[in-house]
Structure 1
Amino acid sequence: MLKSLLSSIGVSSFERSAADLFRHYAEQWADTVRQDYFGNTVATMNTGAKYRVLLSAHIDEVGFQVTEVCQNGLLKVRGIGGVCPARLNTQQVVVCADCGYVNGVMVSTPMTNDGKMPDIKDFFVDIDCQNREQAMQLIELGAPVAFMPNYSVHDSVITSKSIDDRVGCYVVLEVMKRLKGRLKKIRLSVAATTQEEIGLRGMAAVAQTEQPDMAINVDVTDAEQLDKTSRPRMGEGCAIVLNADSHAMFRERVIKTASRANIALQKCLGREITGGSDSSRMQIFSPKTLVGELVIPCKYMHSHTEKCSLNDIESCINIITDLLTGLDEELA
């Protein structure tokens, strides 16, 4: 399931293929599954229970969109989400076309004329076409472009595109799978939200329609790496966010749950003190919801070769599973 989710294609606002895969898995354990006009997928089990818990993660990934087909057959693109241009040259991509996926390579001169590193506007996608007419037989303007699937695992470390945030989608599905038939008082929903990378748009709709009592968002965060210090380390557990995205009551419950069950847990400051993930949209559009966020350390975010640890994914699953099991017993 994890490899399939990471390998699926779902650039922000073009998430249907990845969202349908999420739905396919969710239908195995949920009582009901629905999708809205945003493309959000919400699956629910134990629908008769009164206390509503929502687990969420965003299904979309960063990518590009074709803006021009050039006379020489190359494609000009614009970025969708926060893609780092310094990591793009010669990366393999796929262009989503009516005929299927067309393989391509991101190309640019090493430097611009003024000696600066190239921006996304300086890149082209080479799809092995000799001229515009040949390229137009395959590609239409507006076609989404994604990093080519490249999943691999070595010593419990995953390298792949779209770890942000398909690992979160995997976590919430796995929690639902493990809790199937075990909850008595909790109505559990899991959501794969869309368009997070371009403004947290999907969660704004989910928050207003679901209005849960508790919401737990699962995302990734920058791990300690070459240019980022004092961050959570890969392989030492998921992390609880200490900014406004997590309510103090939620943080306290998570820390106690991890300590009692001896599950690895780190602490993380988060993006900004004011938030910046789907959690913030849940807080704004469903103000009666107790909101919290757990994050998985990730290296080289928004690139073709993101990295995370299977151990951190498992710690996140275990913490949420234990937390909800304990909460269900309290509500009995």
Structure 2
Amino acid sequence: MDNQFQWELWKRLTEAPGVSGFEEPVRAIMREYIESCTEEIVMDRLGSIFGVMRGDEKGPRIMAAGHLDEVGFMVTGISEKGFLSFQPVGGWWGQVLLAQRVRVITPAGAVEGVISSIPPHVLSDDQRNRPMDVRNMYIDIGADSGEEARKAGIRPGQQIVPVCPLTPMLNPRRVMAKAWDNRYGCSLAVELAKELKERPDHPNVVYVGATVQEEVAGMRGAKTAAELINPDLFFALDASPAGDIPGVRDGSGKLGGGVLMRLYDPSYIMPTNLRDFLISICEEENIPYQIYIGKGGTDAKVVQYHGIGVPSAVIGIPSRYIHSHAAIIDRDDYEAAKRLLIAAVRKLDKSTYESILPR
């Protein structure tokens, strides 16, 4: 990959463990990169982290955020034979779990494991024809007893993460990793901070970083971060499920099709003036974009309600197989999102912001 900075950033972010509520390893990486761009760091009490990039103090206050957390699991018990029971954290479909590798993150280090699966040779016809309930799955860490598991440092309440290293694919534009949802947004936030450090003449004040606990009910970090920042405008930086795979009939979002212009999801409608502003940038700058109708939500669901209302947009990309062990993105989509975010921030002076507000 030509951009070594970007590849190292992606590798560190995607391979770090950071299930909802356990974001500290990812936050430490984000802090390192953001502190190289600004000495002004702010955090809420749940752990969302932002760097402050001060341009024109008379301009709007912009919040641009990915989210630190990924979907994963939590240890809930240890059997006498050393098998682990677990609780999914975030939205999982049980049929993507069987026989997948995981890591249990303990104070003494990571412990390798695999989610239980029964070989087809010993399944009854009834078992073959119905899905296994997640509640009946367990994690095998190769222990002979519960005591051996506890001696390794395993305790209830610890995070468990999928295993999938950052991997280039046959088409070199396609990259596979765990947690593109949403280390994509974390990476984009870092690149925005880097851009604003190198060219600090932006007509606004930008809070750039990432929230915690987006993948669980309530999108908790977005709420507390908005209280901290009190933004005038919000850009959620998030990956969405691609609809270009076999078996998806009504999906939108094609890998290689450009940045996603999310017009609607069940918790959010893009403000029309903000939509027109972003589309005009794409057309002026020849940035490929694709219309996206979402079925899930993002941090925009929460931030738009802050105070008397915060105009919000999602600058996203499609990702195949999110909320599974291995997801795939297209580098061209990432670059399109990056170009749109940077151009939007640079154009958002006081008068442009006011033109976006309802009239």
Provide TM-score, normalisation by structure 2. Answer: 0.87
Structure 1 partner of 2:194: 177
Out of 217, 229, 238, the position equivalent to 1:219 is: 238
Contact 1:8 1:17 in 2 (8 A): yes
Change (3 A) 1:156 1:286: farther
Which residue type is aligned with residue 39 of structure 1? Answer: G
8 Å CA contact 1:67–1:76 kept in 2: the answer is yes
CA distance in 1 between counterparts of 2:117 and 2:269 reads 38
Equivalent residue in structure 2 for 1:133, among 147, 151, 156: 147
| Cα pair 1:40 1:202 within 8 Å, conserved | yes
Q: Equivalent residue of 2:261, what SS?
A: strand
Q: Which amino acid aligns with 1:253?
A: F
CA deviation digits over 1:22-81, x for unaligned, max 9?
111111112411222211111111166232111011110000111110111111111000
CA distance in 2, matches of 1:12, 1:41: 14
- Matched position secondary structure for 2:28: helix
Q: CA deviation at 1:182?
A: 3.1
Letter in 1 for 2:254: R
- From 270, 279, 291, give the equivalent of 1:267: 291
Cα distance in 1 between the residues matched to 2:240 and 2:341: 18
Greater mean deviation of Cα atoms: 242-251 or 186-195: 242-251
Instruction: Give the root-mean-square deviation of aligned CA atoms.
Output: 1.9
Letter in 2 for 1:185: P
**Structure 2 counterpart of 1:152, from 163, 167, 173:** 167
Distance 2:269 2:41 in 1: 27
Q: Pick from 252, 256, 261: which aligns with 1:240?
A: 261
Give, in angstroms, the shift of residue 285 of structure 1: 2.1
Residue equivalent to 2:23? 15
1:65 alignment counterpart: 74
* Paired residue secondary structure (1:77): strand
Query: What is the Cα deviation at residue 245 of structure 1?
Result: 4.2
1:293 aligned onto 2:310? no
Structure 2 matches for 1:63-212, cutoff 5 A? 63-109=72-118, 115-138=129-152, 139-154=154-169, 155-180=172-197, 181-199=199-217, 200-212=219-231
* Separation in structure 1 between the aligned mates of residue 281 and residue 56 of structure 2, nearest angstrom: 26
Q: Distance in 1 between matches of 2:73 and 2:42?
A: 28
Q: Whole-Å Cα distance in 2 between the matches of residues 130 and 184 of structure 1?
A: 60
Percent same amino acid at aligned positions?
27
CA displacement at 1:268 relative to structure 2: 0.1
Does structure 1 retain, via aligned residues, the 8 Å contact 2:164–2:326?
no
Contact 1:72/1:132, CA 8 A, preserved across alignment: yes
Is this contact kept in 2: 1:245–1:293, CA < 8 A?
Answer: no
Q: Does the CA-based 8 Å contact 1:165-1:219 persist in structure 2?
A: yes
> Which residue number in structure 1 is paired with residue 12 of structure 2?
4
Q: Cα deviations across residues 235-264 of structure 1 (Å, max 9, x unaligned)?
A: 111111111342211111110000000011
Quick one: which amino acid aligns to residue 9 of structure 1?
P
Unpaired stretches in structure 1, ≥5 consecutive residues: none
User: What count of residue pairs does the alignment treat as equivalent?
Assistant: 329
Identify which range, 147-156 or 210-219, moves more after superposition: 147-156
Match in the other structure for 1:56:
65
Which aligned runs of 4 or more in structure 1 are off by greater than 3 angstroms?
110-115, 328-332
SS at match of 1:79: strand
Structure 2 runs not aligned, ≥5 long: 1-8, 354-359
